[in-house]
Amino acid sequence: MASHLWYPLLLVAIFLLMQTSDCFIHSRAAFYPNSDENGTDIGACGFGSFGATINGGDVSAASDLYRGGVGCGACYQVRCTDTAHCSSKGVTVVITDQGSSHGTDFVLSQRAFSKMAQTADAAASLLSIGVVDIEYRRVSCSYPNKNITIKVDENSNFPHYMGFVIWYQQGIKDITAVQLCETQNFVCKLLDRSYGAVWTTTTPPSGPLQVRMLFSDDDGDETWLVPVNNIPEDWKAGETYDTGVQVNI
């Protein structure tokens, strides 16, 4: 084959290989030194005790990936790069908090940090090191047999205030906007992101309510999700309400 024919093919092959290698981003990770394997129940995302045990306790705080709260609920595959101790699979974590340590992108729960290792002995070695080189990539969140769920803030009090956090965020997109709609006249109110994953309004609508969520990605692709189930008219502070939907977007 003439050189002028195979050379472009070689460049294409190299480009595809680079794209595959670049799926993972290099960084560093630490772990919560005072955690009891799980995450924290006072995380900056506002998940409360749910944030310590979601995903089986495989959770993490993030620094830049927190993104002002937009990153809350996002899932990442994280794997350390020391081949003597680390597995090729690593661990999938959910962002539930904000924080960094020694220039890290992730501060994992002890449970998640240990799961990056090949064996129990290797996990002990990783924990003794404390901060390790890693590579990570965004992956889709999946919660089998779980629907997206609305947890109403304990301080909510109609008609003065309503706040809630969204549990079991699924797929690979971010929730970038939330509307609260009256189901009887279809009037919708755009909510404020108070902090983390907490959405609030000082003038909650009355009657049965529908929570509409906008899922967005970096490419500008946006999808409004309309739940099957509504929040009942007599909603209670501190209660959870199943939306009846699962997503894979």
> Which residue ranges make up each domain of the chain?
25-139, 149-242
Question: What is the rounded distance in angstroms from the CA atom of residue 28 to the CA atom of residue 133?
Answer: 4
What's residue 9's pLDDT?
40
Q: Is it the case that residue 138 has pLDDT exceeding 80?
A: yes
For residues 226 and 214, give the distance between their C-alpha atoms in angstroms, rounded to a whole number. 9
Query: How much is the average pLDDT of 166-178?
Result: 97
Per-residue pLDDT, 85: 96
Return the pLDDT at 248: 84
Q: Given phi > 0 = left and psi -120 to 50 = alpha, else beta, which region is 107? A: beta
Phi, psi (degrees; rounded to nearest 5) at 159: -100, 20
Residue 186: the pLDDT is: 84
Assess whether pLDDT exceeds 60 at residue 23: yes
- Mean pLDDT, to the nearest integer, of 222-227? 95
| Averaged confidence pLDDT in the chain | 90
For tokens 């290989």, what's the residue?
17
Chain mean position to CA 206: 30
CA 243, chain centre distance (Å): 18
Peptide bond into 159 cis (omega under 30): yes
Q: How many CB atoms lie within 10 A of CB 82?
A: 16
For range 11-40, the mean pLDDT: 66
pTM of the model: 0.88
Rounded CA gap, 104 and 50, in Å? 24
- Return the pLDDT at 20: 37
Average pLDDT over residues 139-165: 96
Q: Where are the beta strands (DSSP E) in the chain?
A: 25-31, 59-62, 75-80, 91-98, 106-108, 132-139, 149-152, 162-167, 174-182, 188-190, 192-195, 198-201, 209-216, 222-225, 240-242
Asked whether this chain's domains 25-139 and 149-242 adopt the same fold, the reply is no
Virtual CA dihedral for 97, 100, 101, 105, nearest 10 degrees? 110
| pLDDT of 241 strictly over 80 | yes
CATH class of 25-139: mainly beta
Tokens encoding 88: 């090729």
Residues whose CB falls within 8 Å of the CB of residue 89, separated by 6 or more in sequence, listed in order: 79
Range of lowest pLDDT (7-21, 109-123, 135-149, 156-170): 7-21
Residue range 149-242 in CATH 2.60.40.760: yes
pLDDT at 5 over 50: no
DSSP state of 51: H
Residues 80 and 112: their CA atoms lie apart, in Å, by: 11
DSSP 66-124: GGGGTTTT-EEEEEE--TTTB-SS-EEEEEEEE--SSS-SEEE-HHHHHTTBSSHHHHH
- Give the span between the Cα atoms of 19 and 23, in whole angstroms: 7
| DSSP single-letter state for residue 204 | P
- What is the band of 42 on the pLDDT scale with cuts at 50, 70, 90? confident
pLDDT for position 36: 63
pLDDT in tens, 61-104: 999 999 999 999 999 999 999 999 999 999 999 999 999 998 99
pLDDT of residue 35: 62
Average pLDDT over residues 98-127: 95
